[in-house]
Structures are given as C-alpha cells and as structure tokens.
Homo-oligomer: A and B are copies of this chain.
Amino acid sequence: MKNEQIVLAQRPEGLPGDETFRYEDTEIKKPDNDEVLIESVYISVDPYMRGRMNDTKSYSKPFEIDEPLNGHVVGKIVESNHENFSEGDVVTGGLPWKKFNTVSSDAVNKVPSTEVPLHLYLSTLGMPGHTAYGGLLEIGKPEEGETVVVSAASGAVGSVVGQIAKIKGAKVVGIAGGDEKVNYLTETLGFDEGIDYKKDNFSEKLAEAVPDGIDVYFENVGGPISDEVFNHLNTFARVPVCGAISSYNSKEDNGPRVQQKLIKSQALMQGFLVAQFQDNAKNASEQLAKWVQEGKIKSEVTIAEGFDQLPEAFRNLFTGDNFGKQVVKVSNSLD
C-alpha cells in the first residue's frame, strides 16, 4: 500500500529552504504483534524542531539526514495488534513525517476526549499547553497583581501563558508582531496590553505598558526584543526561558550580557523543557482541559491543508506568517 514521507535532505543554514526537505514514496508496513498502524491526520510544526535540524548535541538528538522528520501528530488507528487500541481510536504521539506510521503501541496515547477540536491536542491540550503551564506556574510563579510579560504572545505557547497569568490575577502584557495579532491579544484573549515589536516605538510602548516593572518575563523569542524587556525587571523577577525563536536561524546571536541586570534585580532566569514537568502532567492536562471547557483559555489555529504543505508551514513559524498554533491537516479521516 502506498505511503509518503518527508525526509531531511540536508542540514539548513538559516531559514530552511526547499533543498532542506525531500518527498519520498514509500510503503506501509504491516503491523506486527503489539504494533499499531496509524493514519496521520494533523501534524504539528514547532519551533524547537529547527534545533534538531542542526548537527549539534542538544536536549533531543539531531534529525538524521535521509530519515523522515519527526513531530507531534494526531492520528487515527487503522489497524491494531494491541488490546489497548481499536480501529478508529484517536491517538497522539511523536511520529515520523509519514502519512501512515506503523509503530509500537506504547509510542502513542489515546486522547482523553474527542469532544474538542482534535488539533487542540497539538496546542493547548498538547505539548505547547503543557510548556506554558509548567514554565509559567513552576518557574514564573506569578502572583496576583504582578506584571507578566510574554513574547510571541499570540503563538501556541504564549497565548496560553498569558491567559493562565490572567486566571492567576496578574496584569498581562503580550508582545507580538502586527496589528492583527496585537489586537487579538487584548480583544480576544483578554490581555491587558498588546505591544507590536515591529513598530519603531516598541521600546517606548513597552516602558509605558509596565509602569510598575516586570515580575515575570516568559521568554519565547530572545534577541533584541528580549534585550529591551530585560531593562524593566523588578527585584526578584523570574524569567522562564522557553524559546529564542528570533535566533534559531542565526549563526550570530550577540547582545547585551545579562549578568549585571540579573544582579541588580536579584532575578532568576531558568531554561526549561516540557519534559521536566512530566510528574505533574496529569494535573496539568486536567486543569487545561477544564479551562478550555469553561472558555477561560481560547486558542487560534492556522491549518494548512495537505501533506506537501509541511515545509512551508514550518517556515511560517519563523516568518511570523502563521496565527496561533500552526498545524497541517494531512487527511480528512476524522472530519
């Protein structure tokens, strides 16, 4: 039976171009004992994947040349050789960029409910939601009345960070690019302020938006935007460092050193990965699902249609052309 995959053709320099990816026809492997055959329905593209395209030691091992890329997927069980799964079950897991994957049954989990839009398991109810929840609550620890600033604020992680911070009673300032995104922060998500980093007056607007300084800065972007934010840290500020997307495609990433600022404000910066919060993942899942159900956490998604749209959708993460969570729909099997 016919299958398709996208492999890493060569390691990119800067923004991954078309030469980075290669489409291939391949076979569907018949599942062995304890294996399941899954049809990919929604495939997630996430900024951290850019790091895995480099051949450098990091927290997750590099993608291999000539092997399929790999990311979070919502899929449908087509055939199951394990008692825990039946044909038609909806599952999530980290899977190769293939239309069909045959994997060990422990590589995926059934979704807790199919009453929500299924792509939410790639955003608010998936890895980005857990990233926001753990990073903000376990490292940022916002208190009522404090000022929380989040960058890439309309994105999959940032939008959840800001809404949880509002639930916790903080004043929330979001940084995003362009009028549409900035308006979305205040009008739809309920942030107190939205600031456009693309405008010349970014620095002044930021200063105006945080008259009492910044207690928590949830770092998603790095680069010059964050350099500016660091000038406003309050005493004992906390900076969960989730991402530095503005620098992922750069070879040079120089800016003001942070040491003197951290001393002056006795501030904490902590890099983290969602995996470190796994002991609390069940609580986080339940709480996030409850907030979604109650309408307290809203989310936006950009859905590209078609397996061949994966590379372009991935690039959009860095050019800012997506809105909210970017996913690719590769099958209509769950419509």
Contacts and interface: CB of A to CB of B under 8 A. Distances in A.
Copies in the complex: 2
A259 B58 contact: no
A270 interface: yes
Nearest to A227: B257
B260 A244 contact: yes
A269 B261 CA distance: 11
B59 A257 contact: no
A271 B276 contact: no
Contacts of A254: 254-257
Interface in A231-284: 235, 241-244, 247-248, 253-273, 276
Contact of A259 (B244, B260, B268): B244
A263 B276 contact: no
A232 to B, nearest CB: 12
A193 interface: no
Interface in A129-165: none
A222 interface: yes
A191 to B, nearest CB: 23
A258 B269 contact: yes
B272 A270 contact: no
B264 A59 contact: yes
B247 A262 contact: no
B263 A241 contact: yes
A286 B242 CA distance: 40
A226 interface: yes
A193 B94 CA distance: 43
Contact of A272 (B255, B263, B276): B263
A76 B230 CA distance: 44
B263 A257 contact: no
Given A253-B257, A254-B256, A258-B258, A263 B247 contact: no
Contacts of A243: 259, 263
B257 A222 contact: yes
B259 A226 contact: yes
A196 interface: no
A223 interface: yes
A259 B242 CA distance: 8
A58 B273 CA distance: 32
A247 B257 CA distance: 9
A256 B265 CA distance: 21
Given A254-B256, A256-B254, A259-B244, A266 B219 contact: no
Interface string A47-73: 000010000001100000000000000
Contacts of A263: 59, 241-244, 271-273
A253 B256 contact: yes
Given A268-B268, A268-B269, 8 more contacts: A247-B257, A253-B256, A254-B254, A262-B270, A262-B271, A263-B273, A266-B270, A269-B270
6 contacts: A59-B235, A59-B264, A226-B259, A255-B257, A263-B271, A268-B271
